[in-house]
Structure formats: C-alpha cells, structure tokens
Amino acid sequence: MKGGHFEKITDVAYANGYFDQSHYIRSFKEFTNTTPNGYLQSGLDPEK
C-alpha cells in the first residue's frame, strides 16, 4: 500500500487503485482478517 496521510478510507482506496471504498475494505479484511478501522485501532504500524 502506498504510504501517506489520508483523512478518509475512500482516499486510501482510490490511491491504491480501488474504485470504491467497499471493495477496498473487503480486500483489506480478506488479507488482514480485520477492517481498516480495526487495524488502526489495534495500534499496529506497518512502517516499523
């Protein structure tokens, strides 16, 4: 995933080639077993 600061999940989806937020969230959940919001709340940082 491209790095950067995003205000909305939709912005992240578009920046990574998805056409809508729901498709991005489904793909994210398949890969990580959690939603993007759940991932952020867990405090995990992929940059570290």
What is the total count of domains within the chain?
A: 1
What is the pLDDT at residue 19?
Answer: 94
Q: Mean of the per-residue pLDDT values for the chain?
A: 85
Specify if 14 maps to a domain: yes
**pTM of the model as a whole:** 0.71
Specify if 2 maps to a domain: yes
Specify if 16 maps to a domain: yes
Dump the DSSP string for 1-48. Answer: ---S--SSHHHHHHHTT-SSHHHHHHHHHHHHSS-HHHHHHHT--TT-
Specify if 38 maps to a domain: no
Its domain, for residue 22, covers 1-33
Specify if 48 maps to a domain: no
* Mean pLDDT calculated for residue range 18-47: 89
What is the pLDDT at residue 3?
Answer: 55
Specify if 25 maps to a domain: yes
**43 pLDDT more than 70:** yes
**29 pLDDT more than 90:** yes
